[in-house]
Structure formats: structure tokens, C-alpha cells
């Protein structure tokens, strides 16, 4: 709640209060990592995430440790650090085959372009959890849709995501620590619409993420939704609205690590958008 309200002082107070509370301490460190990454401080975020993993392992909670690794892996993939994403996802796999951590690892592999390992994990989830609602209607459709987009089949991706619509605005409370995978079907549907150059439709999808901040929390897609919505609005020819979205993203990353790949992409797109306006 403090994060959603932008209350840095309260976030620090809660973090300090968690010291010595083994049942939540690793979760708090994981959240600290997510919050730091949200403002582009990826190096510090990595250190926080690794501390979360160590605390979870120290408490003999391997599934929690795996989820922290998976969260870091997805974050690295979304921010463009693909080799680091694959590395972290591989570690998560070794730690646990629990469905939540495995979904995070599969997502990281998928976003990092490792379709072979992503598909292997998707099939495994499908086979081990054939009647699980979240696996059937969120995890598997999302993973298969990413693969379809990467194989230049965005229309197929939209078709694959249809079953997710019934549940996609729910909070995936199954992921109690580390990786919380809520709203990824919405994010990937937006990507599919972008691939089809349907800017207005894509913007609607990314707006759903912006409108449901309480569900997505500090997950990276809550931030990336502004960037992708800006791109979508530019495709739709809505330049002023597109500029507003880039202007929401860039101030948050004013002091970000300079070597984060997506930062260069966002700045380049924004510059091109301004150039067209002249």
C-alpha cells in the first residue's frame, strides 16, 4: 500500500519492522528489489533480490527462493537483459518445480527469446496441472501467446488468450512471495495488438494494467504499460496522448542505471515522436 501511495518513508518503516520476522522477511526484501527496479535502479534491485533468496533458503523455503529468482528473471527479461534473465530462470528451475516459480521461469525464458525451454516448461505445467484453473486459464495461454507473437502469429496469440479473459483481472494470490504474475495475459494481448498495428486496441489493454495498480503492484509491467501504451497511441496517431505516457515513464527513470537496455529504447522512441511533431 505504501508503494502504491508513493510513500517512501512508510516503505522504509515497514522494511525495518520486518527485520527478524522470518516468515515475511524474504518477501519484504523481494519487494524492496521490485520497488528499486521500478525506478530503474537495477543493480541495487539485484542485490535486494539475492538477499531475499538467501533469507528464504536460510529458512528452508526453497519454493519461496525459487519465486524470488523467477521474479528477478522476468524483470531482467522485460528490461532487456536477456542473458541475465536466462541465468536467473535456470537457477529458479533448480530450486523448485512448484507451479508458480516454474511459470515465472517459463515467462522469463519466453520474454528472453528462449522458446525451446519456455515450451518445455509450458508442456510440463500443462501435464502436471491439467485441472488447475490458473494454469489452464492464465499461465499456459500467456506462454503460448508469447510464443505465437515471436513466430509472427499475433492473430493466433489473441485466439490463445481468449480463455484468459474470464479470470485475467483477478489477483493471482497463489504467488505469495517473489513472483506475482497477475495481468500478464492483458500485457501480452496488448503486445499482440501492437504487432498487428492495432494501436487503439493495444492502448486499451495497457490501460487496463494502469487502471488496476492494486492488482499488479510493483510488478514491472505496471511501469512498462505506460511505455507500451505510449507506443500504441503513437501507432494510432494520437501524438499528444502518446507523449503523456512517455512523460510518465521517463521522469521515474531520471536517475536510473544508464545501461538498462529498455531505457535507450524508450528515449529513442520519444525522440522520434517529438521529431515528427516539429
Domain annotation for the chain: domains and CATH numbers: 23-277 (1.25.40.10)
Q: What is the average per-residue pLDDT within 133-142? A: 94
Q: How confident is the model at residue 67 (pLDDT cuts 50, 70, 90)?
A: very high
Instruction: Encode pLDDT of 20-60 as tens digits.
Output: 777 778 888 998 999 999 999 999 999 999 999 999 999 89
CA distances 112 to 69, 133, 161, Å, are 15, 26, 20
Distant-in-sequence, close-in-space partners of 233: CB < 8 Å, separation ≥ 6:
199, 203, 239, 241, 242, 245
Q: What is the average per-residue pLDDT within 178-191? A: 85
Provide the greatest CA pair distance for the chain.
59
In this prediction the pTM is: 0.93
pLDDT value at 172 more than 80: no
Amino acid at each position: 500500500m505504501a508503494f502504491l501511495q508513493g510513500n517512501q518513508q512508510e516503505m522504509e518503516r515497514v522494511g525495518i519492522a520486518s527485520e527478524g520476522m522470518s516468515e515475511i522477511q524474504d518477501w519484504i526484501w523481494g519487494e524492496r528489489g521490485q520497488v528499486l527496479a521500478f525506478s530503474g535502479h537495477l543493480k541495487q534491485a539485484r542485490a535486494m533480490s539475492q538477499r531475499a533468496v538467501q533469507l528464504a533458503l536460510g529458512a528452508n523455503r526453497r519454493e519461496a527462493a525459487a519465486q524470488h529468482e523467477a521474479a528477478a528473471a522476468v524483470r531482467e527479461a522485460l528490461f532487456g537483459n536477456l542473458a541475465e534473465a536466462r541465468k536467473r530462470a535456470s537457477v529458479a528451475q533448480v530450486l523448485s518445480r512448484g507451479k508458480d516459480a516454474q511459470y515465472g521461469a517459463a515467462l522469463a525464458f519466453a520474454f528472453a527469446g528462449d522458446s525451446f525451454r519456455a515450451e518445455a516448461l509450458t508442456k510440463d505445467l500443462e501435464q502436471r496441472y491439467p485441472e488447475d484453473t490458473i494454469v489452464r486459464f492464465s499461465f499456459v495461454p500467456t506462454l503460448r501467446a508469447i510464443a505465437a507473437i515471436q513466430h509472427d502469429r499475433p492473430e493466433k496469440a489473441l485466439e490463445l488468450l481468449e480463455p484468459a479473459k474470464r479470470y485475467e483481472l483477478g489477483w493471482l494470490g497463489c504467488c505469495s512471495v517473489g513472483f506475482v504474475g497477475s495481468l500478464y495475459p492483458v500485457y501480452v494481448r496488448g503486445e499482440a495488438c501492437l504487432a498487428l498495428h492495432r494501436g487503439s486496441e493495444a492502448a486499451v489493454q495497457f490501460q487496463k494494467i494502469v487502471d488496476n495498480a492494486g492488482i499488479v503492484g510493483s510488478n514491472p509491467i505496471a511501469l512498462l504499460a505506460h511505455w507500451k501504451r505510449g507506443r500504441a497511441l503513437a501507432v494510432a496517431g494520437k501524438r499528444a496522448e502518446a507523449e503523456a505516457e512517455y512523460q510518465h515513464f521517463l521522469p521515474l527513470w531520471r536517475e536510473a542505471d544508464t545501461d538498462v537496455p529498455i531505457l535507450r529504447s524508450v528515449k529513442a522512441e520519444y525522440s522520434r515522436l517529438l521529431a515528427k511533431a516539429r
